[in-house]
């Protein structure tokens, strides 16, 4: 019994140390059946070479009715990318194929699913303003946020 306790404690401590190291260059964002992201902004340290975003759908509805993705563009491009993606259909992830304005995106997921995307941070300009949104038709007005590069201390 005692041994089991120590093992759990050690595992928890290792998990804590790992998350402290890794959390800066990766983030998890949740989406749900109420058409919401749980974050309205994401900060990325400029020192990250790669950044990993994990999108989780905590709801139960299928992707055909309440699908979500995470799409990153310059703020100025967000509206155009969302509008052009609307007619592309679910099989194209509601994104215009080969749209050069898209910096990174996950696939469309339904309730209980998740998807991860990793992209290079050196492609991003610290002076530029970036936005993320869900391109499922009708969602981008509510499901959106901003992404900033931050200087590390």
Q: Residue from 56, 103, 124, 134 that binds Zn ion (CB under 5 A)?
A: 134
Of 112 and 126, CB closest to Zn ion: 112
Q: Tell me which residue of 80, 73, 47 sits closest to 129, measured CA to CA.
A: 73
Q: How far is the CB of 69 from Zn ion (least distance, A)?
A: 7
- The Cβ of residue 113 has, within 10 Å, a number of other Cβ atoms equal to 16
The answer to whether residue 117 forms part of the interface with Zn ion (CB under 5 A) is: no
**Which among 8-16, 57-65, 120-128, 137-145 is the span making contact with Zn ion, rule CB under 5 A?**
137-145
- Compose the 38-57 pattern: x for residues touching Zn ion by CB under 5 A, - for all others: --------------------
Identify how many contiguous H helices and E strands the chain contains and give both numbers: 3, 8
First to last CA, the chain: 44
The Cα–Cα gap between 37 and 102 comes to: 19
The answer to whether residue 139 forms part of the interface with Zn ion (CB under 5 A) is: yes
Structure tokens belonging to residue 53: 């975003």
Where do contacts with Zn ion occur on this chain (CB under 5 A)? 68, 134, 136, 139, 143
């Amino acid at each position: 019994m005692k041994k089991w306790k120590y093992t759990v404690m050690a595992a928890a401590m290792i998990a804590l140390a790992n998350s402290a190291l890794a959390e800066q260059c990766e983030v998890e964002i949740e989406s749900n059946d109420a058409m919401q992201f749980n974050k309205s902004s994401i900060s990325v340290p400029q020192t990250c070479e790669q950044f990993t975003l994990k999108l989780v759908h905590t709801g139960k509805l299928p992707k055909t009715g309440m699908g979500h993705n995470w799409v990153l563009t310059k703020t100025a491009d967000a509206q155009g990318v969302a509008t052009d993606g609307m007619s592309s259909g679910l099989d194209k992830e509601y994104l215009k194929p080969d749209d050069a304005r898209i910096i990174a995106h996950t696939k469309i997921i339904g309730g209980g699913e998740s998807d991860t995307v990793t992209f290079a941070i050196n492609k991003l300009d610290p002076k530029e303003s970036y936005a993320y949104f869900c391109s499922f038709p009708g969602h981008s007005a509510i499901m959106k946020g901003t992404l900033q590069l931050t200087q590390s201390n």
